[in-house]
């Protein structure tokens, strides 16, 4: 399996622009997570889906952020409009194990820089 695939690897944009991050989870995994990582705050869960349904979006910073999972093999995280404080590494992860032994598989991340 190719693992969790994220695109793009790097994104540089100007403040106010729309940014769309993409994720393809591991085939057969039923849970998908979007995380943001910064030096100051570490890894923060933004939202997670179970069987394509958003379960917990309490970590989404504000209305500028939205996430969708139209099918089991694809998810997007959109920021509109983007701001410099959104600069971070955004990771997508998927899992499919039991609750006790659940293991997260992360994608390589998207390094977002908003100028």
Residues that bind other proteins in the complex, under the rule CB under 8 A: 31, 41-45, 48, 50, 55-56, 91, 99-104, 106-109
Q: Which is nearer to other proteins, 14 or 89 (CB)?
A: 89
Exposure class string for 86-97: b at 16+ Cβ within 10 A, else e: bbbbbbbbbbee
Q: Which is nearer to other proteins, 19 or 93 (CB)?
A: 93
Q: What gap in Å lies between CA 102 and CA 94, rounded to an integer?
A: 10
Q: Which is nearer to other proteins, 37 or 73 (CB)?
A: 37
Torsion, CA 113, CA 104, CA 31, CA 110, rounded to 10: 10
CB of 99 to other proteins, least distance (A): 4
């Amino acid at each position: 399996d190719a693992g969790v695939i994220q695109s793009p690897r790097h994104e540089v944009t100007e403040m106010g622009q729309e940014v769309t991050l993409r994720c393809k989870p591991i085939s057969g995994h039923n849970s998908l997570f979007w995380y943001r990582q910064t030096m100051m705050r570490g890894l923060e869960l933004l939202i997670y889906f179970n069987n394509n349904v958003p379960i917990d979006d309490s970590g989404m910073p504000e209305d500028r952020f939205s996430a969708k999972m139209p099918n089991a093999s694809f998810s997007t995280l959109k920021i509109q409009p983007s701001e410099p404080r959104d600069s971070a590494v955004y990771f997508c992860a998927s899992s499919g194990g039991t609750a006790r032994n659940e293991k997260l598989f992360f994608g390589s991340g998207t390094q977002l820089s908003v100028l």
